[in-house]
Structure 1
Amino acid sequence: MANNQLPINHSAHITTLGQLKKSGYKPRTVKAELRENLIRKLRLKEDVFPGIFGYDETVIPELQRAILAGHHINLLGLRGQAKTRIARLLINLLDEYMPVVAGSELNDDPLQPLSVFAKNLIAEHGDDTPVTWMHRNDRYTEKLATPDVSVADLIGDADPIKAATLKLPYSDERVIHFGLIPRAHRGIFVINELPDLQARIQVSLFNILQEGDIQIRGFKVRLPLDIQFVFTANPEDYTNRGSIVTPLKDRIDAQIITHYPKSIEIGKRITKQEARIKDEQKGMVTSNEVIHDLVEQVAVEARGSEFVDAKSGVSARLTISAYEQVIAGAERRALVNGEANTYVRLGDFISAVPAVTGKVELVYEGEQEGAGIVAEKLMGKAIRTLFLNYFPDPDKSKKLKNRVSPYKAIQEWFGNGHTLDLLHDASTEDYKHALDLVPGLRDIVTELHPNETPEHTYFLMEFLLHGLSEHSLISRNRLTAGAQFKDLLSSMFTMPTFGEDEDDEDEEEKPRRRR
């Protein structure tokens, strides 16, 4: 056990400075505390940063090295890369409880008092000075850097009201109102989006980082603060909104670069952990791994899309929101149809466009296309990419000379003038009936995936139709309430404008779609 990590039942009985001295407590810096607790966890093979996936060989080892070295840290990365979450998890490396001079606003160590208040209190009461215990959760302070943040907010300022109330001259140190940073003494202080902080405010951090002290309004006060600083920054901010001034960057010991998940499997673990799926939704909606893969693939496609600003990045919140909307869409359909439960459909994935449009920063070409169209294109690319994991490559079947394409029966059925409407709110019975109309559709699925449940078989049948449309073997048009599949050639002459309302459909199509 660390020197000052006293058992909870022990610390509860230590209420005075004298008792604390007898307990064997010895002061130490917060960086030493983080270091010793990290060493203990590493030796015990404990998970130091639970819930952080994909960083085991990159970010986390670098972070651990920085802590062992006693460095201030800057987490540099695009949005949605768990920078703030990592910073918040650092509190797990603090001792559970820490002794503090009772009533001290600077969390003074009873054996190393810092403030005038604590020094005077100890001088007056000696070993009878009251001691309280602060939990590690209270030793974490976080500030979002915004242009309106002032030096007074972070460091402090002279308080005229306090001076008047206590009848003190401005030369008295007691008139100082301390800011967030001094109040974080003996703890962790995090500044999110550091480049958004005005340059003159960043300058005020120089002495704190280098010397550990503060200067306020010309007061000759030196407070050797003990703080572990963690900063987060987005590389985009260096050019768009602001920058980290060079002397400040020089004083931040370790700059650790974060990244997006390097595989779909890691992305799925993050989404499953973070998605807020309610218990009633879990009881009503049955999902599958294909949907999880598609949701993650959308983010992969977005990060490589020519329509999306790569410098801005694509947050992991996109996949989390998209999956939540997929489940919510399936839940709504079950409620509308009075069904006790339902199986997720590919249409639920397609209808999650609103979760994508607000999560991607478009370049000029993307703005010209429109956010909704770009989102649907990304979803289409995700379907096209993952389609080959489950079915033969349609592009190769087009080139077959002596062999019959496995999709010939499906193409011929649509080529004979048939169309198929799959509506988002269709009941389970109507949904299955519509898919069963297409000859050869079930045969391909059952031949390639013979051991699937009936519900998943229908899901793969729908997936097959969407995949064929993405490979241009059949056509898919968007309806207001779903999708319509038809022959590719006929659609070239009858295809409605993208996003066209069902009121503008051909009159012959309305009765068929209603059926």
Structure 2
Amino acid sequence: MNYKDITPQNLLKITTLGQLRAAGYEPKSVKQELRDNLISKLRNKEEVFPGIWGYEETVIPDMQRAILSMHHINLLGLRGQAKTRLARMLVELLDEYIPVVAGSELNDDPLQPLSVFAKHLILEKGDDTPVAWMHRSERYTEKLATPDVSVADLIGDADPIKAATLKLPYSDERVIHFGLIPRSHRGIFVINELPDLQARIQVSLFNILQEGDIQIRGFKVRLPLDIQFVFTANPEDYTNRGSIVTPLKDRIDSQIITHYPKSIEVGKKITLQEARIHKEQQQIVTTNQLVSDLIEQVAMEARESEFVDAKSGVSARLTISAYENTISAAERRALINGEAQTFVRVTDFLAAVPALTGKVELVYEGEQEGPSIVAQKLMGKAIRNQFLNYFPDPDKQKKLKEQNAYKKVTDWFGEGHTLDILQDMPAAEYNKSLNSVPGLAALVDKLHSKSDAQTKLFLMEFCLHGLAEHSLISRNKLTAGLQFKDLLSSMFTMPSFSDDDDEEEDYGSRKKRK
């Protein structure tokens, strides 16, 4: 009988060492497992890291080369670049089940026992030694590196209570309480944020990576561990908090550089895949492609912004949270107004400021440009850049004079008219307000005739925001929303969109004054 041909269901019926030998089982290292299963997937044209977007030509080939080389791996990159997710997905390249000596805490291979417990049990029972089966999901261990992690946590230490209970000397291996790394024998062990690990703790990993064994205190204990190590690290940590000690870095075979999405399309795939949008929200809120484009554009702008610390990076979690906030803003309005359905507006996108403020590290925290103002500026830049993908360039239109596509709209505001777009404005009022601006609906109809009614309304509002970003009209903050008006008159009345919240004018008091 060939062990390789036995199905997982039949494998579980093998319960003793004798049955395992009879089945033709041969020990295999964890790195060999990863290599063999990767080769099988590549030959069968199977996707190796499903759901990982933007790495198809960069990180994933590097990962595959490292696995084929049977290397320990360090994933180096800024926050929010799927480093931990990649590490966790390596589990799928392990064999579905492996045999272990039943009751062993080090996952001993029945044909290559490691612990004293397993060796004594096999010596005592021989072919009748009980065998258990470990699923690949149980062979993954992850530890976040923090300053309080000790050598005992990772490798182990002598347990005085065990020594006293079993009446054994400290030199006996049976009194050792093994740490996370020995317990990960025949599996994958991941250390997240490696530079945060104290240098003396990093030193304790030298021998494990180079020789595959551990040493606990001064005891003559040598355990040739079989572990696939994966580390993650942030380049920022090399300077701000800690560093990877050079001899340890030298022992990590492959260092793979991760990166952020290089295009809006890739970013959208990641955001839509990861965003947690509840069924109730999906039933109530309708969205469109431009909303996703705007959100991804914000991340692009943040990564290029002079106000945001480039060393810290801008996590993909920013766009995910911003998308969730945008949908929730629309849902909240529908609930308040008792509407069964609603569609996302530009004001919903602008309401996602809280999703940005905690995810961008400013170059000068607490200085003139606060997180909220920076977030609003980034959103404004996103609108400005995306505007040119949907409407004519305002700078070029200015030269056309009478043929200017925006002339009717800007002239109406120039006559002293204003338009308030409030966050919680009911759909009927929102529709009426936008259609009150002469030429706005006709402009959208001309450029986007195939769009549905809801998308056209969104584009009408988007057009006003775009004109404000190009300084053809002004956009000012109200307590409950925004007001569009003529650019010149706004200079003498109300603060601009990017001014501090303290300077906002209360909408209710302004309405009373009118």
- TM-score of the superposed pair, with normalisation by structure 1: 0.97
1:265 aligns with 2:265: yes
Instruction: State the Cα deviation string for residues 76-129 of structure 1 (Å, max 9, x = none).
Output: 000000000000000000000010000000000000000000000000000000
Matching residue of 1:327: 327
Tell me, what secondary structure is at the counterpart of 1:369? coil
Cα separation, 2, equivalents of 1:113 and 1:443 = 79
Tell me, what secondary structure is at the counterpart of 2:217? coil
Matching residue of 2:43: 43
Cα separation, 1, equivalents of 2:423 and 2:364 = 32
CA contact (8 A) 1:308 1:366 kept: no
Cα separation, 2, equivalents of 1:264 and 1:334 = 29
Instruction: State the Cα deviation string for residues 336-390 of structure 1 (Å, max 9, x = none).
Output: 0000010110110000000000010001177421110000000000000000000
Cα separation, 1, equivalents of 2:24 and 2:373 = 67
CA contact (8 A) 1:366 1:374 kept: no
Instruction: State the Cα deviation string for residues 162-204 of structure 1 (Å, max 9, x = none).
Output: 1111111112111111000000000000000000000000000
> Which residue identity lines up with residue 346 of structure 1 in the other structure?
V
Tell me, what secondary structure is at the counterpart of 2:373? helix
Seen in structure 2, the aligned counterparts of structure 1 residues 506 and 337 have a Cα distance that, compared at 3 Å, is closer
1:504, CA displacement in angstroms?
4.7
Instruction: State the Cα deviation string for residues 277-323 of structure 1 (Å, max 9, x = none).
Output: 00110010001000000000000000000000000000000000000
Instruction: State the Cα deviation string for residues 203-224 of structure 1 (Å, max 9, x = none).
Output: 0000000000000011101100
Cα separation, 2, equivalents of 1:474 and 1:185 = 66
CA contact (8 A) 2:477 2:504 kept: no
1:451, CA displacement in angstroms?
1.3
1:395, CA displacement in angstroms?
1.2
In the alignment, which of 498, 501, 510 is matched to residue 499 of structure 1?
A: 501
1:6, CA displacement in angstroms?
4.4
Cα separation, 2, equivalents of 1:352 and 1:165 = 60
CA contact (8 A) 1:76 1:258 kept: yes
Matching residue of 2:236: 236
Seen in structure 2, the aligned counterparts of structure 1 residues 269 and 504 have a Cα distance that, compared at 3 Å, is closer
Tell me, what secondary structure is at the counterpart of 1:99? strand
- Where structure 1 has 5 or more consecutive residues not aligned to the other structure, the ranges are none
Matching residue of 2:451: 452
Matching residue of 1:297: 297
Seen in structure 2, the aligned counterparts of structure 1 residues 340 and 132 have a Cα distance that, compared at 3 Å, is same
Cα separation, 1, equivalents of 2:45 and 2:246 = 38
CA contact (8 A) 1:49 1:86 kept: yes
Tell me, what secondary structure is at the counterpart of 1:31? helix
Matching residue of 1:275: 275
Tell me, what secondary structure is at the counterpart of 1:190? strand
Seen in structure 2, the aligned counterparts of structure 1 residues 359 and 3 have a Cα distance that, compared at 3 Å, is farther
Tell me, what secondary structure is at the counterpart of 2:191? strand
Alignment of 1:190-201 (within 5 A): 190-201=190-201
> Which residue identity lines up with residue 476 of structure 1 in the other structure?
R
Cα separation, 2, equivalents of 1:283 and 1:250 = 54
CA contact (8 A) 1:210 1:251 kept: yes
Seen in structure 2, the aligned counterparts of structure 1 residues 246 and 5 have a Cα distance that, compared at 3 Å, is farther
Cα separation, 1, equivalents of 2:413 and 2:96 = 68
Cα separation, 2, equivalents of 1:322 and 1:463 = 18
> Which residue identity lines up with residue 284 of structure 1 in the other structure?
I
Cα separation, 2, equivalents of 1:225 and 1:92 = 21
When structure 1 is superposed on structure 2, of 448-457 and 306-315 the one drifting more is 448-457
> Which residue identity lines up with residue 123 of structure 2 in the other structure?
A
Matching residue of 2:352: 352
CA contact (8 A) 1:307 1:365 kept: no
> Which residue identity lines up with residue 398 of structure 2 in the other structure?
K
Matching residue of 2:218: 218
Identity, in percent, stands at 75
Seen in structure 2, the aligned counterparts of structure 1 residues 439 and 117 have a Cα distance that, compared at 3 Å, is same
Tell me, what secondary structure is at the counterpart of 2:467? helix
Seen in structure 2, the aligned counterparts of structure 1 residues 504 and 481 have a Cα distance that, compared at 3 Å, is closer
CA contact (8 A) 1:475 1:488 kept: yes
CA contact (8 A) 1:4 1:27 kept: no
Tell me, what secondary structure is at the counterpart of 1:494? coil
- TM-score of the superposed pair, with normalisation by structure 2: 0.97
Matching residue of 1:408: 407
Cα separation, 2, equivalents of 1:158 and 1:426 = 68
Seen in structure 2, the aligned counterparts of structure 1 residues 319 and 510 have a Cα distance that, compared at 3 Å, is farther
Seen in structure 2, the aligned counterparts of structure 1 residues 94 and 507 have a Cα distance that, compared at 3 Å, is closer
Cα separation, 1, equivalents of 2:512 and 2:60 = 58
Cα separation, 1, equivalents of 2:41 and 2:477 = 54
Matching residue of 1:7: 7
Instruction: State the Cα deviation string for residues 465-490 of structure 1 (Å, max 9, x = none).
Output: 00000000000001111110010000
Tell me, what secondary structure is at the counterpart of 2:282? helix
1:501, CA displacement in angstroms?
6.5
Tell me, what secondary structure is at the counterpart of 2:476? strand
- Where structure 2 has 5 or more consecutive residues not aligned to the other structure, the ranges are none
Matching residue of 1:110: 110
> Which residue identity lines up with residue 491 of structure 2 in the other structure?
M
> Which residue identity lines up with residue 58 of structure 2 in the other structure?
T
Cα separation, 2, equivalents of 1:388 and 1:183 = 57
Matching residue of 2:342: 342
Seen in structure 2, the aligned counterparts of structure 1 residues 429 and 151 have a Cα distance that, compared at 3 Å, is same
1:500, CA displacement in angstroms?
4.3
1:378 aligns with 2:378: yes
Seen in structure 2, the aligned counterparts of structure 1 residues 331 and 435 have a Cα distance that, compared at 3 Å, is same
1:404, CA displacement in angstroms?
2.6
1:405, CA displacement in angstroms?
1.2
Seen in structure 2, the aligned counterparts of structure 1 residues 154 and 506 have a Cα distance that, compared at 3 Å, is closer
1:460, CA displacement in angstroms?
0.4
CA RMSD after TM alignment: 1.6
1:399, CA displacement in angstroms?
2.8
Cα separation, 2, equivalents of 1:194 and 1:390 = 45
Alignment of 1:56-71 (within 5 A): 56-71=56-71
Cα separation, 2, equivalents of 1:198 and 1:433 = 63
Cα separation, 2, equivalents of 1:508 and 1:372 = 24
> Which residue identity lines up with residue 102 of structure 1 in the other structure?
A
Tell me, what secondary structure is at the counterpart of 2:501? coil
1:4, CA displacement in angstroms?
5.7
Count matched residues.
511
Cα separation, 2, equivalents of 1:504 and 1:340 = 30
CA contact (8 A) 1:357 1:375 kept: yes
Matching residue of 1:128: 128
